[in-house]
Structure 1
Amino acid sequence: MTRRLARYRIPVGVLALVALCLVALLLQKMLNFNYNNQTFLIALKTNQDHDHQDHDHQDHFDIQQLTRRAEHLRRTCQSLGLSRLQPITPISSVPILDRKGIFTVCVGPKVGKKWWRILGARAEEKGFANVQSRLPAVISVQHPLSRLAQCYREKFLGGKNISQYAVHPKRGGESWTLRWKSYWLPALISTGKISHGPLISKLIQTHRRHANMTPSHTLMATLITQAYGHMDALLLRTHSDVAFTFEEFLHHVVWTHVLGLHDPNWTSQFTLCQPCDRSYDYVSHLENSEEEVNNLLKVADVKGEFRFVSSVASEKGKKEGVFTDLLLYGDIAKHVMDQIFRLYHLDFVLFDYSTKVI
């Protein structure tokens, strides 16, 4: 019997080749996913950045890249006739940072707001100042799909049960109750896990005119309290351990936009900083934040260099972020992705981010 089996033994070399092929197929599956019968790769950088990818590994990032984006922004705004539009999000909720004579930057939620604040604080500590008469104006943006993924990981815990949320003892944060009323309970409604009663529809319609005066997540919490406050205890008992998939989150994003409740955390970046009505000198991509900001400081005649993390940690974080985002979008239905691309079309076009299919 042993001799018979020996005849069918597969050579070690063949086994190694088969194993190598399997590993290659697995890697390919991680990097690509089938979307609409095509191989769709989420491009987390701009077309121009892709053409200049060799520069990403150099200490000196081409400052002209930021000015080219600003010129592209101006040309596109003009060609599409997007000037003098009423902003959807109130200007009071848009963070405009003027760091005492260094530069002026508009940065929305989930676009490195904390990062820019740290930069400004460190600059002030070191006594940096811009000697130019006019401050450079910067708009900081992020790839729309990456921004949504980041928001999902933060506000919806990346798919974990909401019962696991806890306010950090040192960093603080939103209370569990505020998260419940502002994000999770509305998402239960938008996904159909809780019935969308006529009262909430009436309240939203009545208060929609206030959406341009009140931060939308605060308004949503108010509306939810009015519509579901009488049964809040019951809903908490039955849904306090719920978790949301990424597709459910994307559906919720579309739902809030349809209702006219544009939450600053995921509303289009076009609506936050009025890029077509303000004159920006530079457009900074969060994906290259460290290189780009250091060169912005040089342009502003600021001496010194900022390094927030080691280059090794930075590159590792970028790679892990790309893989995580790819996995999140891998199983999203085509019609949902179509809605997302339509919703954030202007962010892709104005800020020169790629959505190409390869």
Structure 2
Amino acid sequence: RLISAFKDKFVKNPRFEPWYKHDIAPAIIRKYRKNHHDDSESVGLQFEDFVRYLGDKQFGDHIIHWLTYAELCAPCDISYNVVGHHETLERDAPYILKAAGIADLVSYPNIPPGITHYNRTKVERYFTGISQRDVRRLYARYQGDFSLFDYQRPAFLLD
């Protein structure tokens, strides 16, 4: 989810508000990049900078795209009938539409191959070079989401 948010907002999608690339990214670089120089902003935000930002409770909480699901969806306040997973979205969507009584009115679009599948190699590539301290801080922030959705602790990153 965080790799996707990083790529979507800072790397590959120019249609999003320039606010991410021109305001948020330079602010993150100035605060979290070691040996920051003004010209280093032109290099662009690196995933390592983004991880540091997210791990800092003071700064990482105000943008909806990387709030924890516990903060975003209020699972303790709302009695959900269904909890879906992104990885099983193609299987979950028809059930949800049918349960809502709208399967005849709405259909879930086909998802391009590879979009919903977890790719450990990609995760390892993105986290290469990120300090154990920063990875642990990031996990501590999102640990509730791991529990909420019954995801395994990513030992290959944390140990």
TM-score (norm 2): 0.78
Does residue 179 of the first structure (1) align with residue 21 of the second (2)?
yes
The reply to whether residue 248 of structure 1 matches residue 53 of structure 2 is no
Residues 108-257 of structure 1 aligned to structure 2 (within 5 Å):
147-157=1-11, 166-167=14-15, 173-175=16-18, 179-181=21-23, 183-192=24-33, 193=36, 238-239=39-40, 241-255=42-56, 257=57
Q: For the residues of structure 2 that align with 1:277 and 1:319, how far apart are their CA atoms?
A: 30
Distance in 2 between residues matched to 1:319 and 1:285, nearest whole Å: 11
Match of 1:340 in 2: 138
What is the TM-score of this pair, normalised by structure 1?
0.38
Is this contact kept in 2: 1:246–1:328, CA < 8 A? yes
C-alpha spacing 1:318/1:178, structure 2 compared with 1 (3 Å): closer
Alpha-carbon distance in 1 for matches of 2:109, 2:26:
37
Quick check: 1:254–1:339 contact (8 Å CA) kept in 2? yes
Instruction: Return the alpha-carbon distance in structure 2 between the equivalents of residues 338 and 277 of structure 1.
Output: 28
Q: 1:243 to 1:272 in 2, by over 3 A?
A: same
Residue of structure 1 in register with 2:73 after alignment: 273
2:110 to 297, 303, 309: 309
Q: 1:280 Cα shift?
A: 0.8
Alpha-carbon offset, residue 261 of structure 1: 4.5
* Local SS of the residue matching 1:270: helix
CA distance, structure 1, for counterparts of residue 93 and residue 20 of structure 2:
34
Inter-partner Cα distance in structure 2 for 1:191 and 1:325 = 21
CA deviation vs aligned residue, 1:81-124 (integer Å, no higher than 9, x gap): xxxxxxxxxxxxxxxxxxxxxxxxxxxxxxxxxxxxxxxxxxxx
Identity of aligned residues (%): 22
Richer in strand (by share):
1
Amino acid at match of 1:292: D
Gaps of 5+ in 1: 1-146, 159-164, 168-172, 195-234
Determine helix, strand or coil for the equivalent of 1:187: helix
Contact persistence 2:53–2:59 (CA under 8 A) = no
CA contact (8 A) 2:9 2:20 kept: no
Mapping of residues 97-112 of structure 1, within 5 Å: none
Counterpart Cα distance in 1 of 2:120 and 2:60: 31
Q: What's the offset of the Cα at 1:318?
A: 4.1
Alignment of structure 1 residues 13-92 onto 2, 5 Å: none
1:297/1:303 contact within 8 Å kept = yes
- Does the C-alpha gap of structure 1 residues 307 and 322 become closer, same or farther in structure 2, counting only changes over 3 Å? farther
> Partners in 1 of 2:7 and 2:154 — Cα distance?
25
Deviations 1:231-285 (A, max 9, x none): xxxx5xx355222322221001123x23474321212111112110111111111
1:258 aligns with 2:58: yes
1:350 aligns with 2:151: no
Pick one of 63, 69, 91 that aligns with 1:291.
Answer: 91
State how far apart, in whole Å, the 1-side matches of 2:103 and 2:117 are.
Answer: 30
Query: Which amino acid letter does the alignment assign opposite residue 286 of structure 1?
Result: H
The structure whose RCO (Cα within 8 Å, separation 6+) is larger is 1
Superposition misfits of 4+ residues, deviation over 6 angstroms: none
Question: Any conservation in 2 of the 1:348–1:354 contact (CA below 8 Å)?
Answer: yes
- Aligned partners of 1:275, 1:320: CA distance in 2, in Å? 24
Letter in 2 for 1:289: L
In 2 relative to 1, CA 341–320 (structure 1 residues): closer, same or farther, beyond 3 Å? closer
- RMSD, aligned α-carbons: 2.8
Equivalent-residue separation in structure 1 for 2:143 and 2:49 (angstroms): 20
Query: Could you tell me how far 1:308 is from its partner in structure 2?
Result: 2.0
Deviation at 1:180, TM superposition (A): 1.3
Larger radius of gyration: 1
